[in-house]
């Protein structure tokens, strides 16, 4: 059990309640490193390791000296909610500082920012996030102007560059407006026996453009479905935006040929998810042979070249920006996958499958709310068709040759959703459960 007299022990109960903390308890937390962000150390970030069996992880916990007792009597307060931390992080990142601490170091790097380090007029932490902490900053530029910034603090740290930084900055640098501009990043180092040379390197934070007065595509689509409004044009535009991002990523970052190893790896991971879903959902277990046939046909079929992709693509990862159209966010990939895997070329069709499933979830939500399920299903089918048409038109490549692979990827995503809903939201399980059977009927 964590020692409550130690600073980490005092923080442990609070850490265990945070949404970004993946474990149920903070009983096995220990201090791995300390990185001061100010010369006097009143603003610092702690790297705290969870040594729990099966939940091993390293977390970043930014803190500031508290006026009172602070968290658990530690004398420390939650950094992202304090303007002093935000100002220090901006200074370190956009001022390209070199930081040295007890066991950790960091260096800031400008990417698209010009001018001096901005001042902080106000800062607000976004609520609802799970894996990271994002802060909206109203900043004053060196010339007295205004800049709206999104400062994202990565909570679970990994050895390797974060694709949210690498991919978004590469897309923006190519001139595409389909992602927020990236202004700078803070890259850290810390001890890790498993890393080369015993030292890990990874992103601690990123500063990006904040897009105000926007709505995410999930809310836009759900409102349209509730009103039974035709969503064909927005869905077609979203397909085109997705294809544009995929085309840019394939042009500016490495691609790879899909060899036998890649085919076998995909089939193995899909089989594992199918087994997990069958163990939890009886109706899935009854069609396991049909599922296996679709997955095997897809893995054995024709593949496009592998490339960098979004990796966790759905309607909630897209904003509708006035005068700019659809803008894609959060290129970290699936948070539970190792960073090395998230940085490998993958199938762009995985993103396509994810968005198709997201449209299906809109229809499922309508039915879950007691709405007209048949009408919602027709709405979803129309949106899915339009999305694919927009994607093909922008990419300039027909998807028909890859239909078996896309079917397998969409079925695989639905099986993943079955596992998630069965474990976390059983009342939502019918959405992916019914989708599994519809997808099987579609390829029968």
Convert the pLDDT of each residue in 314-332 to its tens digit: 999 999 999 999 999 999 8
From CA 409, how far away is CA 352, in angstroms rounded? 9
pLDDT of 130: 76
Q: Which helix (H) or strand (E) holds 138?
A: strand 132-140
pLDDT at 128 over 80: no
Backbone φ, ψ for residue 155 (5° rounding): -90, -60
Handedness of CA 297, 299, 300, 303 (dihedral sign): positive
- Please state, as a whole number, how many other Cβ atoms lie within 10 Å of the Cβ of residue 435: 23
Question: Are 333 and 418 in the same domain?
Answer: yes
Question: What's the pLDDT band for 6 if we cut at 50, 70, 90?
Answer: low
Q: If you average pLDDT over every residue of the chain, what do you get?
A: 94
CB distance 408 to 350 below 8 Å = no
Query: Which of 98, 85, 120 has its CA nearest to residue 187?
Result: 98
Give the chain's domain count. 2
pLDDT at 2 over 60: no
By CB atoms closer than 10 A (0-12, 13-18, 19+), residue 108 is buried
- At which of 145, 176, 209 does a domain end? 209
Question: What's the pLDDT band for 203 if we cut at 50, 70, 90?
Answer: very high
pLDDT at 129 over 90: no
Residue 1 lies in a domain: no
The CATH number linked to 422 is: 3.90.1200.10
Question: Are 44 and 164 in the same domain?
Answer: yes
Question: Are 140 and 228 in the same domain?
Answer: no
- At which of 162, 194, 209 does a domain end? 209
Question: Are 196 and 275 in the same domain?
Answer: no
Question: Are 205 and 220 in the same domain?
Answer: no
pLDDT of 140: 96
Question: Are 107 and 237 in the same domain?
Answer: no
Number of H helices, E strands in the chain: 13, 15
Handedness of CA 297, 303, 306, 309 (dihedral sign): negative
Residue 381 lies in a domain: yes
Residue 255 lies in a domain: yes
pLDDT of 63: 97
The most distant pair of C-alpha atoms in the chain lies apart, rounded to whole Å, by: 67
pLDDT at 290 over 60: yes
Query: Which of 39, 40, 89 has its CA nearest to residue 62?
Result: 89
3-state DSSP assignment of residue 35:
strand
Reading the block at residue 278, the tokens are 């069958």
Owner of token pair 């397909």: 239
Residue 106 lies in a domain: yes
CB distance 26 to 12 below 8 Å = yes
Question: Would you give the distance in Å from CA 175 to the centre of its chain?
Answer: 22
3-state DSSP assignment of residue 85:
helix
Weakest-pLDDT range from 4-18, 107-121, 151-165: 4-18
Interval 52-56 mean pLDDT:
89
Name 367's Cβ contacts closer than 8 Å, sequence gap at least 6.
373, 376, 430, 431
Question: Are 188 and 255 in the same domain?
Answer: no
Reading the block at residue 358, the tokens are 């997201």
Owner of token pair 């998630």: 420
Question: Are 175 and 314 in the same domain?
Answer: no
Question: Are 197 and 232 in the same domain?
Answer: no
Owner of token pair 């910034």: 149
Question: What's the pLDDT band for 336 if we cut at 50, 70, 90?
Answer: low
For strand 57-65 and strand 76-78, is the pairing parallel, antiparallel, or unpaired? Answer: antiparallel
Question: Are 407 and 438 in the same domain?
Answer: yes
Residue 2 lies in a domain: no
Residue 400 lies in a domain: yes
Interval 346-357 mean pLDDT:
98
Domain span holding position 148 = 7-209
pLDDT of 230: 96
Question: Are 19 and 110 in the same domain?
Answer: yes
By CB atoms closer than 10 A (0-12, 13-18, 19+), residue 145 is exposed
Question: What's the pLDDT band for 24 if we cut at 50, 70, 90?
Answer: confident
pLDDT at 431 over 70: yes
Tell me how far CA of residue 139 lies from CA of 109, 170, 281, 435, in angstroms: 18, 24, 50, 46
Name 282's Cβ contacts closer than 8 Å, sequence gap at least 6.
none
pLDDT at 120 over 90: yes
Question: What's the pLDDT band for 337 if we cut at 50, 70, 90?
Answer: confident
CB distance 361 to 369 below 8 Å = no
CA geometry: angle 128, 129, 133, nearest 5 deg = 125
From CA 210, how far away is CA 208, in angstroms rounded? 6
Interval 230-237 mean pLDDT:
98
pLDDT of 1: 35
- At which of 186, 209, 232 does a domain end? 209
pLDDT of 7: 63
Reading the block at residue 341, the tokens are 């895997």
Question: Are 197 and 318 in the same domain?
Answer: no
pLDDT at 5 over 70: no
The one-character DSSP state at 86 is H
By CB atoms closer than 10 A (0-12, 13-18, 19+), residue 107 is middle
Q: What is the pTM of this model?
A: 0.92
């Amino acid at each position: 059990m964590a020692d409550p007299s130690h600073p980490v022990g005092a923080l442990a109960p609070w850490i265990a309640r945070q949404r970004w903390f993946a474990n149920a308890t903070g009983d096995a937390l220990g201090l791995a490193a300390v990185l001061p962000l100010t010369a006097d150390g009143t603003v610092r970030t702690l790297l705290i390791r969870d040594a729990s069996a099966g939940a091993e992880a390293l977390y970043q916990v930014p803190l500031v000296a508290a006026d009172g007792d602070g968290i658990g009597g530690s004398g420390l307060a939650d950094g992202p909610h304090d303007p002093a931390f935000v100002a220090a992080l901006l200074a370190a990142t956009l001022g390209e500082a070199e930081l040295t601490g007890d066991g950790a170091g960091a260096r800031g790097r400008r990417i698209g920012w010009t001018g001096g380090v901005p001042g902080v007029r106000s800062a607000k932490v976004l609520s609802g996030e799970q894996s990271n902490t994002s802060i909206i900053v109203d900043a004053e530029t060196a010339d007295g102007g205004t800049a709206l910034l999104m400062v994202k603090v990565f909570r679970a740290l990994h050895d390797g560059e974060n694709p949210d930084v690498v991919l978004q900055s590469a897309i923006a640098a190519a001139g595409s407006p389909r992602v927020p501009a990236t202004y700078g990043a803070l890259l850290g180092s810390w001890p890790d026996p498993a890393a080369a040379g015993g030292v890990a390197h990874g992103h601690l934070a990123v500063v990006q453009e904040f897009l105000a007065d926007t709505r995410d595509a999930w809310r836009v689509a759900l409102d349209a479905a509730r009103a039974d409004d035709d969503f064909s044009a927005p869905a077609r535009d979203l397909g085109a935006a997705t294809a544009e991002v995929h085309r840019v990523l394939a042009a500016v970052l490495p691609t790879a040929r899909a060899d036998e190893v890649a085919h076998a790896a995909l089939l193995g991971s899909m089989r594992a998810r199918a087994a997990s879903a069958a163990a939890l959902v009886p109706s899935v277990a009854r069609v396991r042979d049909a599922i296996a046939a679709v997955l095997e046909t897809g893995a054995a079929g024709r593949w496009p070249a592998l490339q960098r992709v979004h990796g966790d693509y759905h309607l909630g990862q897209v904003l509708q920006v006035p005068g700019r159209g659809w803008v894609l966010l959060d290129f970290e990939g699936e948070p539970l996958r190792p960073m090395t895997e998230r940085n490998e070329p993958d199938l762009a069709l995985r993103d396509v499958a994810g968005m198709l499933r997201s449209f299906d979830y809109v229809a499922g939500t309508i039915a879950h709310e007691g709405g007209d399920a048949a009408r919602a299903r027709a709405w979803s089918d129309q949106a899915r068709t339009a999305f694919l048409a927009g994607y093909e038109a922008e990419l300039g490549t027909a998807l028909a040759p890859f239909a078996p692979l896309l079917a397998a990827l969409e079925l695989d995503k639905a099986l993943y959703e079955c596992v998630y809903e069965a474990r976390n939201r059983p009342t939502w399980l019918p959405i992916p459960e019914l989708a599994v059977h519809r997808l099987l009927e579609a390829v029968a």
